A and B are shown apart, each in its own frame.
Chain A
Amino acid sequence: MIGATHRTQRVPGSRLRAALIGTATVAVLVAAWEAAVRIGNLPPFVLPRPSQVVATAVEQAPLLGPHVATTATEAVLGLAMGTMLGWLLAVLTSAFPTSGQISHPVVLLSQTIPTVVLAPLMILWAGYGLTPKVTLVALTVFFPVLVAATAAIRDVDAEYSDTVAGLGGGKAHQMWLVRLPASVPGALAGLRIAATYAVGAAVVSEYLAGESGIGVFIQRSRKAYAVDQIFVGIALIAILSALMVAAIVALRRVATPWQTNLVST
């Protein structure tokens, strides 16, 4: 249908089976890691045991809350901003092709610069607070949302726009009844892809400057040679990213209830 959706065959119990296999794979890998460190007798400042990482996480838990909250705030605000901007530009360029021709080279050019590279500039311009990190996340999210929403509008346009025009509808009707709603699944599909980058972008900008955040926690741990803490940070980033993706999948269900065939990965 629209955007990045495809049909899945619903075999009863297949999802449970997939989940069990996935869990088992991770468990085997963690066990192999634990065994390798014990057998190889590696020092903890090179590679800590997973059990030690868990122990450190429990020990550090009271300290971690504010760091996680900071990074999550940056990621969520940046996602929201980047999505809004990408989606708006997609709708705008479909309504006014000239605006697309103007913005296209700029957008393309900006994509030749990895957003993370811009972090030092952001910090110089916007200081040490939330703003440079949110801006960086927004820049990272912007492009995939723009591309996916533009594609969704382009794919859907002709048939439905003709229907509306054939009933007497003008350009405004086509925009309101067709383009705008057609872009929503695309924007959300782009958001789903962008969400995995968002936390990473926030953390990298925290590496450079900041008082709080998972990136700050990892940098402090690095300076103290606390490798186990670095692993705790990495695990937190993974969990946060997964939660973001899960939230967006849930949002897609609510925002596009007509799509029954969304893959929930």
Chain B
Amino acid sequence: MTTTANSTGRAPEAGRSEPVLSVGDLTITFPASRGGRGGSQDGGLNVLDALSLDVHDGEFVAVLGPSGCGKSTLLRALGGLLDPRAQVEGTIAVPSDASGRRATAWMPQRDGLLPWRRAMANAMVGAIAAGVPRDRAYPRAQQLFEEFGLAGFERAWPHELSGGMRQRLALLRTCLAERPVLLLDEPFGGLDPVTRRRMNAWLATVHLTEQAAAADAVARDASTTGSGVVLVTHDIDEAMTLADRIVVLSDRPGRLLYEARARQGGEERYDRGSLLSALDC
């Protein structure tokens, strides 16, 4: 059932370097809730089914799929946030930092901004949680506030910011963690379509993979292991605008249905028709 649409044959990165992040035959099942809800078979809810996915250095991968196909579960598994009751089979390989901690930064669908911290303090949560020293994180935060169009709002409370600003701030916080792998769970899912389009256009100019790589280089004293971004979304335009590669998952349990790599130099980066038909089956 897995098909690979690729104009240039094999991916240039594949085989040449070790993947930054690798998932092999990943099957995740949640034990049945005692109430015995519908949709569960064999006493459990099978969310992902034998999914394999590699992310190579510098790659921005979008995972596209219908609601409930296990996209968010995949991202939580990559970020080490899986419910401990979940049964996991297969392999998950993510980079770790010098102190052995998981070198991923996860951004939730709802921004997760702490209501009791002002904008700058919320951004710094990324640095604090990841153990980035303040004297390095703070100047970078100031610079990113400028780049992310948030300058002047450093002392605003989260509730004073618009939906789009909140998401940008959440993304800024994620960047400040200086992790080489960014995991974005529907970062613009809660926004209205107009704001969402603007955010996507803006995000395409930010070059998150380069941000992550640069930050990681600083964090590791230039001995970087490579960087990557995994974006989970159900918005086909979002995926087409941002990603170097799109992976389409099936309905639950999520299996790999289709994979497409962005064309270089062409007008249309992806063949929308085949993406849509992959989503429809």
Give the interface of A toward B (CB within 8 A).
1-2, 159-160, 162-169, 173, 177-178, 181-182, 184, 256-260
Contacts and interface: CB of A to CB of B under 8 A. Distances in A.
A173 B128 CA distance: 8
Contact of A258 (B110, B116, B131, B177): B116
A169 B128 contact: yes
A258 B129 CA distance: 22
Interface stretch (B24-32, B99-107, B269-277): B99-107
B179 to A, nearest CB: 7
Interface in B75-120: 79-81, 101-102, 104-108, 110, 112, 114-117
13 contacts: A1-B115, A163-B112, A163-B125, A166-B81, A166-B107, A167-B126, A167-B173, A168-B102, A169-B128, A173-B129, A257-B157, A258-B115, A258-B159
Given A162-B81, A167-B177, A181 B114 contact: yes
A2 B79 contact: no
Contact of B116 (A167, A256, A260): A256
Contacts, number: 73
A178 B114 contact: yes
Q: Which 10 A-B pairs have the closest CB atoms?
A: A166-B106, A169-B129, A163-B112, A167-B129, A168-B130, A181-B116, A167-B177, A166-B79, A258-B157, A164-B129
A27 B157 CA distance: 43
B239 interface: no
Interface of B: 79-81, 101-102, 104-108, 110, 112, 114-117, 125-126, 128-131, 157-159, 173-174, 177, 179, 183
A165 B174 CA distance: 12
A149 to B, nearest CB: 14
Nearest to A178: B114
Contact of B114 (A162, A177, A259, A260): A177
A142 B255 CA distance: 53
Chain A CB within 10 Å, residue with most, of B81, B101, B115, B116: B116
A157 to B, nearest CB: 12
B127 to A, nearest CB: 9
B159 A177 contact: no
A22 to B, nearest CB: 31
Nearest to A162: B81
B80 A165 contact: yes
Contacts of A169: 128-130
Nearest to B105: A167
A196 to B, nearest CB: 26
Contacts of B79: 166
A160 B125 CA distance: 11
B126 A159 contact: no
Contacts of B125: 163-164, 167, 177
A258 B117 CA distance: 8
Given A1-B115, A167-B173, A258-B157, 5 more contacts: A163-B112, A168-B179, A177-B129, A181-B117, A258-B158
A260 B89 CA distance: 47
Given A181-B116, A182-B116, A168 B101 contact: yes
A183 to B, nearest CB: 11
A165 B105 CA distance: 9
B266 to A, nearest CB: 35
Nearest to A163: B112
A166 B128 contact: no
Contacts of B115: 1-2, 258-259
B185 to A, nearest CB: 9
A167 B174 contact: yes
Contacts of A2: 115
Among A160, A168, A184, find the residue whose CB has the most chain B CB atoms closer than 10 A.
A168
> Which of B114, B131, B157, B183 has most chain A Cβ within 10 Å?
B114
A160 B114 contact: yes
A7 to B, nearest CB: 12
Give the residue among A163, A178, A181 with the most B Cβ atoms within 10 A: A163
A166 B158 CA distance: 19
Contacts of B173: 167
Contacts of A162: 81, 106, 108, 112
